Amino acid sequence: MPQPDPMIIAGEPFSSRLVMGTGGAPGLDVLERALIASGTQMTTVALRRLDPDAPGSVLDVIERAGSRVLPNTAGCFTAAEAVLTAKLARDAFETDWVKLEVIGDEDTLLPEVTELVDAAEQLVADGFVVLPYTTDDPVVARRLEGVGCAAVMPLGSPIGSGSGIRNPYNLAIIREQVSVPVILDAGIGTASDAALAMELGCDGVLLATAVTRAHDPALMATAMRHAVEAGRLAHLAGRIPRRLYARASTGFEGMPTLSPDPTGPEATRTYDDRPDL
């Protein structure tokens, strides 16, 4: 078994690297089974779309699933609005952690990055642990780290699009260029997308729709848990280089009995000196 390998954000360890959202769930029962199946320890909810004091709400479900609540500023279009929403969330949920979202327009739901950096700066100064949802732009990711964000959360593709990771190269660059955790946020469609994010070196994956709108949300949540774990292990294990031509997994010198002449040239020829492509 592998050693414990927690994701550490702002000094706090999370043994699950899967962060869940709740949007799109067809019912609370279904959501609860999915959250439990996902094994998540952090679930994000929109303050805008929730009354924290409402009885029998999604908050009870998250609590029963053993997850902490990460409030987010979904639905905000300006820095001022996001900062105010984050402060309301801090009072309502009694946490200074916030998933910061500032959206540019309703058709793409892409981040409005100039407002995002502005809001992040204000919230960090106010003592928040800020996890910003951002584009897959390495320069913006560096700026967000620079203003003191506890992690960066670049998108794979637009929210709810299920289109996977459209620019894996940018994610790899972000991973190289920032030292805070990188959590892929948005665009996951199926388990292989989550595994790819982890293989690229992301520290975690945040997803909602891929699970909540699946035909069987709990089953997809299980798939996502395994995918994130598998992708993480593959990343740690170190993948082999890609090659254009085949490379026998066992050298021919290791199979003397299969060779008609064990001393012949086929038995001793090795391809191990061929450089990786």
Contacts with other proteins, residue ranges (CB under 8 A): 26-30, 32, 49-51, 53-60, 63-64, 215-216
10 Å Cβ neighbour count for 168?
Answer: 15
Task: For residue 183, give every residue at least 6 positions away whose Cβ sits within 8 Å of its Cβ, in sequence order, or none.
Answer: 19, 131, 151, 152, 153, 202, 203, 204, 205, 206
**Of 99, 143, 175, 235, catalytic:** 99
- CB closer to other proteins, 54 vs 236: 54
The strand ranges marked E within 126-202 are: 129-134, 153-154, 183-185
- CB closer to other proteins, 20 vs 117: 20
Q: Is 263 helix (H, G, I), strand (E, B) or coil?
A: coil
For the bound state, the minimum distance from the C-beta of residue 62 to other proteins, rounded and expressed in Å, comes to 11
- CB closer to other proteins, 71 vs 138: 71
Q: Tokens 């642990």 belong to which residue? A: 129
CB 192 within 8 A of CB 172: no
For the bound state, the minimum distance from the C-beta of residue 42 to other proteins, rounded and expressed in Å, comes to 19
99 is an active site residue = yes
CA 37 to chain CA centroid, nearest Å: 17
How far apart are alpha carbons 69 and 253 in whole angstroms? Answer: 58
For the bound state, the minimum distance from the C-beta of residue 30 to other proteins, rounded and expressed in Å, comes to 7
- CB closer to other proteins, 56 vs 260: 56
For the bound state, the minimum distance from the C-beta of residue 216 to other proteins, rounded and expressed in Å, comes to 7
Positions marked catalytic: 99
